[in-house]
Amino acid sequence: MPDFPDISKSLELYARANKLIPGRTQLISRRASQFANGVSPVYADHAKGSRFVDVDGNEYIDWVNAVGAVILGHADDVVDRAVKAQIDRGSLYTLNGPLEIDLAEELVETIPSAEMVRYTKAGGEACAVAARIARGTTNRDVILFCGYHGWHDWYQSANYLVDPESGEYPFAGIEPTGVPRALAGTAIPFTYGDTAMLEALFDEHAGKVAAVMMEPVRSELPDPGYLKAVQALSRKNGAVLIFDEVSCGWRLRVGGVQEYLGVTPDMTVVAKAMSNGYPMGAVVGSQEVMEPAGRMFVSSSYWSDNTGLAASLTTIRELKKRDSERRFEEIGESLRTTIDQAITDSGLSGRCAGLYTNPGVALDLPDPRLASAVATLFIQEMARRGIHTYMGFKATLAHTEEDIRITGRAASESFSVIKKGLDAGNLDELLQCDIKKEPFRRLVK
């Protein structure tokens, strides 16, 4: 069995961060407690293609890829060349840059719902802009939503609708502290797939619903007709239908889930993978819903930053050039087959479930309360073997069959450790770390 990697420099930095940075990281998904804390690397030194090297010099195959933000592979030569060339010409001008128009034209050509475009620098920010535009366009306040849409007040205010006693917050231990209580009731969650619930919410808030904002797909495809039914209800009630494709966009189809499923919303939010690791986000939509934004206060200095625009334009063109849709299917299916085989070889029961763009390990456990310990042990044992992953895998175009083969071997050995721990009832003894904190939990499924 391989030794545990030396991650002492990572842990030193993490201890220093504790004094300087509240919460230690800028993104909750980067906290050490989200992985095998004490075994998984915490700080990276550099990254290229499908791999990164941590500050202690250990190399890992990366299946997290900045939670999906990296899509072509780390430090992609073509995107980085375009960004470097732009840096030499200036990143932020006093005037507007023509790349704003070039990217808008590319987005309009690519995303079915896009006729007009606004930019941001992040996904949550773009969701907040979409909420503002939808409210301004309809002159209504209530937003019905499902899925995760970032850290902003409009969305986090929904936590006030949740019973604090039950602890049902989207992140364990993180409460809506600092979010104005006055916003309670302005953003209301609904359950994915439950058309009757959505209809009832429309009835309850008749004439007040500005928008329905939802992730059209997360890990599985919806029942046929579901998104069409949501669209029909939104139309009937005069609400703007917004697809948040920040996480589900780009990999399945470059034009998004909406292209794949043939349902065109009124507005779409994109970010993350659109620029392969450079900050960018966008709200796109029909002229009818977007045009009134010209009369709303939606404005920020760095939204015009040319490096993000150059990165995004190049990334989208490269996705098209590199036959990304077919490649993601190939990589995802190959990974799924390999992980399935690893599960079978270990004697565990389960499968690699979910869409090929977001496959994840789903084990049948004797007791569901063991899930966190098993997930932590899997992450720990994979880290030990040079694989950085959650229970789910987010591929890039840089991942090769060799990466999948190495990952499969590591998974096979890791599942065997889990099987032994389950059989002997000593999972805790095998863990070199605390059990992973509640993973990123969405307000509603």
Ligand X SMILES: Cc1ncc(COP(=O)(O)O)c(C=O)c1O
Footprint of ligand X on 140-179 (CB under 6 A): 147-150
Q: Is 20 exposed, middle or buried (0-12, 13-18, 19+ CB in 10 A)?
A: exposed
Which of 147/277 has CB closer to ligand X?
Answer: 147
Span from 202-210, 240-248, 344-352, 361-369 in contact with ligand X (CB under 6 A):
240-248
Contact 158, 188 (CB under 8 A): yes
The string of DSSP codes covering 352-386 is EES-TTS-EEEE--SSGGGHHHHHHHHHHHHHHTT
Give the one residue of 34, 40, 237, 247 binding ligand X; rule: CB under 6 A. Answer: 247
Edge to edge, the sheet with strand 142-146 lists 116-120, 281-285, 267-270, 240-244, 209-214, 142-146, 187-189
Which of 14/145 has CB closer to ligand X?
Answer: 145
Contact 345, 415 (CB under 8 A): yes
Which of 82/127 has CB closer to ligand X?
Answer: 127
Span from 96-104, 111-119, 121-129, 380-388 in contact with ligand X (CB under 6 A):
121-129
CA–CA distance, 302 with 281 (Å, rounded to integer): 11
CA–CA distance, 145 with 270 (Å, rounded to integer): 16
| 124 binds ligand X, rule: CB under 6 A | yes
Which of 282/417 has CB closer to ligand X?
Answer: 282
Contact 15, 46 (CB under 8 A): no
| 268 binds ligand X, rule: CB under 6 A | no
Give the one residue of 122, 174, 371, 406 binding ligand X; rule: CB under 6 A. Answer: 122
Q: Give the rounded distance of the alpha carbon of 158 from its chain centre.
A: 20
| 246 binds ligand X, rule: CB under 6 A | yes
| 305 binds ligand X, rule: CB under 6 A | no
CB of 56 to ligand X, least distance (A): 27
Which of 106/215 has CB closer to ligand X?
Answer: 215
Footprint of ligand X on 50-69 (CB under 6 A): 67
CB of 297 to ligand X, least distance (A): 20
State the number of binding residues for ligand X (CB under 6 A). Answer: 15
Give the one residue of 7, 111, 127, 188 binding ligand X; rule: CB under 6 A. Answer: 127
What length is written for the chain? 445
Between the alpha carbon of residue 245 and those of residues 7, 186, 365, the distances in Å are: 35, 22, 32
**Chain positions contacting ligand X, by CB under 6 A:** 67, 122-124, 127, 147-150, 215, 244, 246-247, 271-272
